[in-house]
Amino acid sequence: MPLQIKTFSCRSDNFGFLAHDEATGETAAIDAPHAGPIIDALEAEGWRLTHLLITHHHADHTEGLAELKAKYGCTAYGPMAEVDRIAGLDELLDASHMLDLGETRLEIIETPGHTLGHICYFDPTGLSLFCGDALFSLGCGRMFEGSPEPMWEGLKRLRALPDETMVHCGHEYTIANARFAMSIDPDNGALKRRAAEAQTLRDAGKATVPFRLGDDKKANPFLRADDPGLMAKMGMAGAQPFEVFAAIRKAKDSF
């Protein structure tokens, strides 16, 4: 049986996610923006938290960790490279690890840049990606700690996943991301469609997450830094893709 996934909002614009294995009853929360909404979501489903999967050390992804561990005695997993920055981790992960959640084996993908140790969790059978603040719908996380080349390499690892992958990212940022993307890539039909779809969803009070990775590959400028057309639009034909990525990231920071 594939994992059952529940998406809900936390804090102002964070998402919380639960992944549940029906056969064993094991249930993971991906990130811990705030304990309250996660507890509410668990209780609404009648699920018991056994795993807490942290993507990176920022407070809006870890603040509920201590309270959830105290309440459920769950095991907290997180990035090995951020062990000094996240209190209460029990198991440390990098790309050499797999993580079993009931009958499903999750892969760990390293995506440094937003934070240096940022990791993502990927279910290759159910095709679900939990990517924290590494990748957003039509955008990516701000580069707080890393440098452009490893961050671009991390995004390429995510881009290499199957088109049918459903992306569960940490924030509802799609409308603002679409506005920026349209400013640098206004003739991209796939982007125009995604921007319009996102607006329709938001107008109806619905979330734009999760979204299909294949759609984002064609529309998200941060996944298209090696596209010759976009490179030319950035005035960077012939540059290294990571340099184009850096220029797009910088432009977004001051947009």
In the residue annotation, 114 being an active-site residue is answered as yes
In terms of CB distance, is 102 or 112 closer to Zn ion?
112
Site for Fe ion, residues 163 to 182, rule: CB under 5 A: 170
In terms of CB distance, is 60 or 216 closer to Fe ion?
60
Stretch that binds Fe ion, among 37-45, 59-67, 144-152, 227-235 (CB under 5 A): 59-67
In the residue annotation, 171 being an active-site residue is answered as yes
CA dihedral for 127, 131, 132, 138, sign (positive or negative): negative
In the residue annotation, 34 being an active-site residue is answered as no
In the residue annotation, 51 being an active-site residue is answered as no
- Residue 183's Cβ-side half-sphere holds a number of Cα atoms within 13 Å equal to 12
Among 20, 51, 57, 58, the active-site one is 58
From residue 49, give the alpha-carbon distance in Å to each of 76, 118, 176: 11, 23, 33
From residue 254, give the alpha-carbon distance in Å to each of 115, 172, 181: 19, 19, 13
- Residue 173's Cβ-side half-sphere holds a number of Cα atoms within 13 Å equal to 21
In the residue annotation, 60 being an active-site residue is answered as yes
Among 61, 118, 168, 185, the active-site one is 61
Please check whether residue 185 is in contact with residue 221, taking contact to mean a CB–CB distance below 8 angstroms: yes
Smallest distance from the beta carbon of 67 to Zn ion, in angstroms? Answer: 19
Closest CA to 97 of 115, 114, 111, 77: 77
Site for Zn ion, residues 54 to 113, rule: CB under 5 A: 58
Query: Residue 166 corresponds to which amino acid?
Result: M
Site for Fe ion, residues 118 to 137, rule: CB under 5 A: 133
Catalytic residues: 56, 58, 60-61, 114, 133, 171
| Interaction site with Fe ion (CB under 5 A) | 60, 133, 170
| Interaction site with Zn ion (CB under 5 A) | 58, 133
